[in-house]
Amino acid sequence: MVKVLSVASEIYPLVKTGGLADVAGALPLALAAEGVAVTSLVPGYPAVTAALEGGRAVLTLPDLFGGPARLVAGTAAGLDLLVLDAPHLYDRPGNPYVGADGRDWPDNAVRFAALSRAAALVGLGEAEGARPDVVHAHDWQAGLAAAYLAYDGRPRPGTVITVHNLAFQGQYPRTLMEPLGLPERAWSVDGVEYYGHIGYLKAGLQLSDRITTVSPSYAAEIRTAEGGMGLDGLLRARTEVLHGILNGIDDRVWDPATDPLIPATYDARRPARRRLDKAALQERFGLAKDPDAILFGVISRLTWQKGLDILLASAGTLLQAGGQLVVLGTGEPALEQGFAALADAHPDRIGCRIGYDEALAHLIQAGSDALVVPSRFEPCGLTQLCALRYGAVPVVARVGGLADTIVDANEMARAAGAGTGFQFSPVNPDMLSAAILRAAAVHRDREAWQALVKNGMKTDVSWRRPAAHYARLYRDLVAARS
Ligand code: ADP
Ligand code: GLC
C-alpha cells in the first residue's frame, strides 16, 4: 500500500471554485482501487471544519505564521482528511482566495505557505499516525511543500506536483523569505527565486521529484515559449520527469442514468429520453420549445482563458444556422454583459444565467445537443468529459486537454464509426463559426448525430485509467528513491 498525502486548496464537495476541486475530491477515491491510500490536506475553511467528522488533533503548532494552528484528522464526504485548523488564516466567509470585494485576501502568501509548511511537517512524520511515502501537491497554493521538504535536511518522502493551470503562479516578495521560514540558500534560480520574487509554483516545479499536468498536449504546450508563461525553460530542462495524465470525472456524481438533478434520466441505450431534458432546458431559459433546433450549451468561468469572447463573436453564425444557446457562467463583467445583452436581443433563442449553479450545470449537460468549449488554452477541462457522458456533443478548441479528449467527427472518422465531437483550430471566431456550421449540418442528419452521441456516451471518462497512471507514477517514484 503506497501512502500519499494530497495537498490542495479546494476539494469537492466541500469547497470548489473550479476543476481543481473536482480532481482533488475524486482522484483519492479512484486511487483506493489501485492500492493507494490517500489522505487529503486542506485548509480549515468554515465549510471544511463544519463538515469534518470524528476529528482528532494529530499535531499542534503554537505559532504557524502568526497564530496557533492544529492539524485535525477526520473524514468528510467519504474522504480521509487532514484539516489545517488555523483560524487566523482560514476562518473567513466566502471564497477561498478572494474577499467580498473580489480582491485576493492580502495575506494569501502566508495562507498558502502555511498549507505547504503543514504538508512538509506531515511528510517529515511530525503528525501522529501519518507518514506518507509521497507528498502530492496541486498548483501554486501547495508549491512550497517541496521547498520546505527539500531544505529541511531530514529524510523526506517523494514529492510530486501537478499543474492544473500554469497561468496562476503565486509570486510574492523576497522579504517573506525569513517570515515564512525559508532559508537564505533557497534564494537561487535552482530554488524558490523567480524573477526577483518567491515563486510558489516555480519552487514546486523546480524542487519536486516528479511533475505532472492534466493532459499530454498541455504537457507539450507548456514547454514552448508560447504556452510556457515564463516557465518553459525550467519545464524543458525537466522534461524527463514531466508527465501528462488526463483527468477523469466522478462517474457517480455525473451519471445520466441516476442523476437526481435532471427531469429525465437516460443512458447510452435509451438516449432518446434526452429530448425531455432538452424541452425542460428550453423552458427553464424561456427559449422556443423547438425540438429540432440545435441547442448549444456553455458552462464556464467567464475569463479570457475560456475564449467566450470568441463565442460572442460567432453568435451571429449560430443564429443563422438556426441554433439556440444557453450560457451558465460567472466572471469578467464584459463577458457577463455581452451574453446578457445577446439574450435580451434574442430571448427565444439565447438564454443566459450569470452565476454558479451546480444543478443547472447538470440540466445543461443533459438537455443541450452540443457543448461549446472555445478555450484559448485548457490544461484538461472537465465540462467536455461530462458532456461526453451526458450525450452533449462537444465543440472544442483544439488545445490542451480538449485536443486529447475529443475525437473530431470529420467525414473519414464518421465513415469509420468514430468521432465524438468537433474540434477547431486556430482559436478564432471564423474557425469556431465553421465548427458550429459543421455541427449544425451533422445535427440535421438524425442518424449521424445519434452515432456521435452514442460514441461519446460509450467513452470511458472515469478516473479508472488516470488513477492507474498516478498509481504507477507513485510506485516508480518510491522505488527510485529507495
Ligand atoms: P476550470 O477549472 O478551468 O474552471 P474545468 O472544466 O476543469 O475548468 O472545471 C470546471 C468545473 O466547474 C466543472 O465541474 C464545471 O461543471 C464547473 N463549473 C464551471 N462554471 C460553473 C457554473 N457557473 N456553475 C456550475 N458549475 C460550474
Ligand atoms: C484547471 C484547468 C482545467 C483543468 C482543471 C482540473 O482549472 O483550467 O483545464 O481541468 O484545472 O485539472
Give percent above pLDDT 70 in the chain. Answer: 100
Question: Which ligand is the nearest neighbour of the Cα of 23?
Answer: 2
Domains 2-248+464-481 and 271-458 fall in the same CATH topology: yes
Q: Average pLDDT of the chain?
A: 97
| Reported pTM | 0.97
What pLDDT, on the 0 to 100 scale, is given for residue 94? 85
Q: Over 90: is that where the pLDDT of 109 sits? A: yes
Q: Is 180 in the pocket of ligand 2 (CB under 6 A)?
A: no
Q: Over 90: is that where the pLDDT of 342 sits? A: yes
What is the rounded average pLDDT of the residues 9-14? 98
Q: How confident is the model at residue 373 (pLDDT cuts 50, 70, 90)?
A: very high
> Which residue from 9, 12, 165, 243 has its CB within 8 A of the most atoms of ligand 2, so it is best to mutate?
165
Atom of ligand 1 nearest to the CA of 300: 20
What is the rounded average pLDDT of the residues 4-17? 97
What is the rounded average pLDDT of the residues 329-348? 98
Q: Is 331 in the pocket of ligand 1 (CB under 6 A)?
A: no
Identify the CA nearest to 243 among candidates 270, 274, 272, 217.
217
Atom of ligand 1 nearest to the CA of 305: 3
What pLDDT, on the 0 to 100 scale, is given for residue 188? 97
Residue with cell 495562507: 111
What is the rounded average pLDDT of the residues 102-125? 97
What pLDDT, on the 0 to 100 scale, is given for residue 329? 98
> Which residue from 246, 382, 399 has its CB within 8 A of the most atoms of ligand 2, so it is best to mutate?
382
DSSP 406: -
What pLDDT, on the 0 to 100 scale, is given for residue 374? 98
In words, the CATH class of domain 2-248+464-481 is: alpha beta
Domain ranges of the chain: 2-248+464-481, 271-458
What is the rounded average pLDDT of the residues 65-72? 98
What pLDDT, on the 0 to 100 scale, is given for residue 3? 98
Q: Is 304 in the pocket of ligand 1 (CB under 6 A)?
A: no
Q: Over 90: is that where the pLDDT of 358 sits? A: yes
SS (H, E, C) 23-77: HHHHHHHHHHCCCEEEEEEEECCHHHHHHCEEEEEEEEECCCCCCCEEEEEEEEC
What is the rounded average pLDDT of the residues 170-174? 98
Where b means 16+ CB within 10 Å and e means fewer, 89-100 reads: bbeeeeebbeee
Q: Is 23 in the pocket of ligand 2 (CB under 6 A)?
A: yes
Whole-Å CA distances, 247 to 9, 160, 444: 18, 16, 32
Q: Would you state the cell numbers that stand for residue 237, as one nine-digit string?
A: 530542462
Q: What is the pLDDT of residues 12-63, one digit of tens each?
A: 999 999 999 999 999 999 999 999 999 999 999 999 999 999 999 999 999 9
Sheet holding 422-424, edge to edge: 350-354, 324-331, 295-302, 370-373, 393-397, 422-424
Give percent above pLDDT 90 in the chain. Answer: 98
Identify the CA nearest to 268 among candidates 389, 443, 386, 361.
389
What pLDDT, on the 0 to 100 scale, is given for residue 155? 97
Q: Which residue's alpha carbon is at the smallest distance from atom 19 of ligand 1?
A: 300
Q: What is the pLDDT of residues 220-237, one digit of tens each?
A: 999 999 999 999 999 999
Question: Which ligand is the nearest neighbour of the Cα of 400?
Answer: 2
Q: What is the pLDDT of residues 126-137, one digit of tens each?
A: 999 889 999 999
Q: Over 90: is that where the pLDDT of 338 sits? A: yes
Q: Which residue's alpha carbon is at the smallest distance from atom 12 of ligand 2?
A: 164
CATH code for the structural domain at 271-458: 3.40.50.2000
Q: Which residue's alpha carbon is at the smallest distance from atom 3 of ligand 2?
A: 381
Q: What's the CA-to-centroid distance between 401 and ligand 2, angstroms?
A: 9
